[in-house]
Amino acid sequence: MDSKDQVFEAIAAHRGKIVAVGSTEKISELIGNETHVVHLRGKTVTPGLIDAHSHLALAGVNKLTSLDLAHPEPRSITEVLGRISERISQANRGEWIVGGGWDEAMLEEKRPITRWDLDPLSRENPVILVHASGHSLVANTLALKLAGVEDPTLDTRGFIVIDKNRGMTGLLKESVMDLVLSRIPPFNVKQLEDGIKIAQEDWLRDGITANKDPGLYGDSSSMVRAYRSLLSKGELKIRSCLLYKVDTLEDVQRAAQLAADATSFSDMLRVVGIKIFLDGASRIRTAWMYDEWNLGYFQTDVGNRGHPVIDLSLFRKIVQEAHRRGLQVCIHAVGDQAVDVALDSIDAALAKYPRQDHRHSMIHCIVPTSQALARMKTLGIVVETQSSFIYFFGDILAGNLGPRRCPRAIPLKSYMKAGITVGNSADADFYPHPPKFGIYAACTRKPMKRLYGDEPFGTDECITVHEALRTYTSMAAKCLFWEDSIGTVELGKHADLVVWSEDPYAVAPEKLKDLKVALTIVGGRISAQSGALSNNS
């Protein structure tokens, strides 16, 4: 994955870094009595894969504490309620029951879960079920009351609590969703440590050797303390680049302090900037668009263009202050109008405080305009997107975008043609983490169920396997400011490597999502191994 697209036969690493690449004959000369030799018998090796935007810590801790309600199991609301009842029967009185990953489009009833579904299950345990989009939830009446939400007319669809409440008024400090989530007891450092450890084992098995986690939040900074604790004990196995989620100017100050403290960390851990939300989600049609959303592909969701989820004046101030302090500003901007407003804010910050190589990023950036692409290149913006969205909820996305906008959704080829650095990712734990799904979707643009045909997104934005791998290696490394250390197989870089059981360049496009990782190496150490290489020395 270097700039010359070179391919070699063998690699040598010493003290965690690559010291030689070349022919088998040349590298064999370096083998000593204590050298660990792995004979790959012709298997493909790439740099370790880098996820540019996934909530690793929360993915792990949720796996330990939360009900997984994602497709394909459970298949119906009845099964969801059965899972919740079982959890309640094992819980203490007053204990919060939390689940996530459900999507009405994937349930047999084809309707949202409501608080009236949840209320009969328990009068003593608050229940919260976060939607698969991460931008809405359903809660039982007890949970809503504990959060101070008692207006039964707030949402006539059964208390599907959506973050639109803040966006529509522009005045409320917190959305209803924030109020409800704030009542859940926060995870402590030990829980987060356990979560990181369990998640990183899963991710290493799928070839991920570095990740950008946008999950830091709150005054206590428990998450960064968990990461630092694991680092100090030698138990952090994935290189982790962290962002601090901000809602206020005070949050920016905390983020700047964390970033300053992080200079004493190692090449396994860093804090580089902030994450800030500008709009909602494409999956539930709350992202901020110029034109109305579609319903069922051809119909129009009349009057719904989505909305910002933060006061725009405050948003601009946060962007400017974070930029002034030298932080990377990573903006959740999904809709085309949101992307343009985000670019305007960065443009204004740069005009007031000129700064080279800031690499402010657009997170998700699902449907940018062609004019936005040109501005991103001019402003030095990087994009941290998720091609796997096309596969995992592509049918819903296609139905919401409609035939006119689908061909320009997640335009990887256009990004590359414009010279924009693109880091690919999964946005786990909202969606499965394995990069193979993102590689598959980047090359085929085919959704899982294909409700609107095999190619509702067209093929003009398809990229090659080689280009797709770049979005998970050399380009993703730039999004994390780590391109001098990881992302390519070159002398002096960390020996972060992935050995594939099959050659990604040789398999049929439809088989890309079935790729398997045989071996994952981080810093010259084998971190995960399948049975495929069990007989090698």
Residue 201 identity: E
DSSP string, 111-124: S---HHHHGGG-SS
Output the six-digit token pair for 319: 């962007």
φ/ψ of 404, rounded to 5, equals -75, -40
H or E stretch covering 322:
helix 312-324
Domain ranges (residues) in the chain: 10-48+491-533, 59-181
Q: What is the pLDDT of residue 408?
A: 96
**For tokens 């049929």, what's the residue?**
508
Percent of the chain whose predicted confidence (pLDDT) is above 70: 93
Q: Which CATH architecture has domain 59-181?
A: Roll (3.10)
Give 186-241 pLDDT, tens digit per residue. 889 999 999 999 999 999 999 999 999 998 765 457 888 999 999 999 999 999 99
Give me the long-range contacts of 347-356 (CB less than 8 A, separation at least 24): 347/375, 347/379, 348/316, 348/319, 348/320, 349/319, 349/320, 349/323, 349/324, 350/323, 350/379, 352/320, 352/324, 353/320, 353/323, 353/324, 355/323, 355/326, 356/380
Q: Does domain 10-48+491-533 have CATH number 1.25.10.10?
A: no
Q: What is the pLDDT of residue 165?
A: 36
H or E stretch covering 521:
strand 517-522
Give the pTM.
Answer: 0.89
Rounded to whole angstroms, how far apart are CA atoms 332 and 314?
15
With contact defined as beta carbons under 8 Å apart, do 394 and 446 qualify?
yes
Give 10-20 pLDDT, tens digit per residue. 999 999 999 99
Q: What is the pLDDT of residue 159?
A: 38
H or E stretch covering 137:
strand 136-139
Rounded to whole angstroms, how far apart are CA atoms 215 and 207?
21
Residue 484 DSSP symbol: T
pLDDT band at 173 (very low <50, low <70, confident <90, very high): very low
Give 293-333 pLDDT, tens digit per residue. 999 999 999 999 999 989 999 999 999 999 999 999 999 99
